[in-house]
Amino acid sequence: MTKKEKVQFVIDTLNEIYPEIPIPLDHKDPYTLLIAVLLSAQSTDVKVNQITPKLFEIADTPKKMVKLSVEQIRDIIRPVGLSPMKSKGIHGLSHILLDKYNGQVPKSIEALEELPAVGHKTASVVVAQAFNIPAFPVDTHIHRLMYRWNLTNGKNVVQTEKDAKRLFPEDLWNRLHLQIIWYGRQYSPARAWNLDKDIITKTIGRKCVIAEYNKKMKK
């Protein structure tokens, strides 16, 4: 297959498996999405979805959030990990949203990245999922799969994002981002990987990745 054919195979296969794509993190508006994505760093969506109802019941707007102390926020979000940094970030960004953006979440990646505890991936997820602005957030699943599929050299997430944006049509970025995440979790995980179920890697995958898998299976 040519690279163009591989890209089309990925698109067609993911559309067949995931005609409808659920958003992993529960939220009701751009602000609650921003908080949920921030909390998901080095945690799981399942854990975040268990914690956010309690947090958002008390504070689901910047105005309500700043009325809480950093310590109160930390007590609620402690189970997701990195609670000292995340609680300070949530409190700090809520203040900035009120002072600078009239309580609204900005719609640009650059503005979002200026907020405390908000990195490039978090900002990209928010503009894509809250505002439907084309972005291609790269998490560990996308980074792993793009490498397995020989669509990037896998050196870092920055390069993986550049390669994804170069290879896939812009109007599909937001959809593909979610489809690849779900596929990675269900069919091509880092551990307990079954190549026979991973049709995309089995069909277009990097030879060295498949060889290493087969080597492990023979042990």
Position 150 scores a pLDDT of: 95
Position 176 scores a pLDDT of: 97
Q: Are residues 111 and 160 in the same domain?
A: no
Predicted TM-score (pTM) of the model is 0.91
Quote the domain boundaries for residue 106.
Answer: 30-131
Could you tell me if residue 60 is inside a domain?
A: yes
Q: Dihedrals φ, ψ of 61, to 5°?
A: -140, 160
Q: Tell me if residue 207 is catalytic.
A: no
Which residue among the candidates 6, 60, 86, 139 is catalytic per the annotation?
139
Beta carbons of 51 and 76 less than 8 angstroms apart: yes
Q: What is the dihedral of CA 111, 114, 117, 123, to 10 degrees?
A: 30
Could you tell me if residue 78 is inside a domain?
A: yes
CATH number for position 149:
1.10.1670.10
Q: Are residues 39 and 122 in the same domain?
A: yes
Q: What is the dihedral of CA 12, 18, 20, 23, to 10 degrees?
A: -120
Q: Are residues 102 and 174 in the same domain?
A: no
What are the DSSP calls for 39-105, one per residue? HTTTS-HHHHHHHHHHHHHH--SHHHHTTS-HHHHHHHHGGGS-HHHHHHHHHHHHHHHHHHHTTPP
Q: Are residues 169 and 209 in the same domain?
A: yes
Which residue among the candidates 6, 60, 86, 121 is catalytic per the annotation?
121
Q: Tell me if residue 202 is catalytic.
A: no
Query: Residue 203 belongs to what H/E stretch?
Result: helix 199-204
Position 155 scores a pLDDT of: 84
Could you tell me if residue 189 is inside a domain?
A: yes
Q: Are residues 164 and 199 in the same domain?
A: yes
Q: What is the C-alpha separation between 86 and 134, in angstroms, rounded?
A: 26
Question: Based on the structure, what is the number of domains in the chain?
Answer: 2
Write out the chain's pLDDT in tens, 219 residues.
899 999 999 999 999 999 999 889 999 999 999 999 999 998 999 999 999 999 999 999 999 999 999 999 999 999 998 999 999 999 999 999 999 999 999 999 999 999 999 999 999 999 999 999 999 999 888 999 999 999 999 789 999 999 999 999 999 999 999 999 999 999 999 999 999 999 999 999 999 999 999 998 886
Could you tell me if residue 25 is inside a domain?
A: no
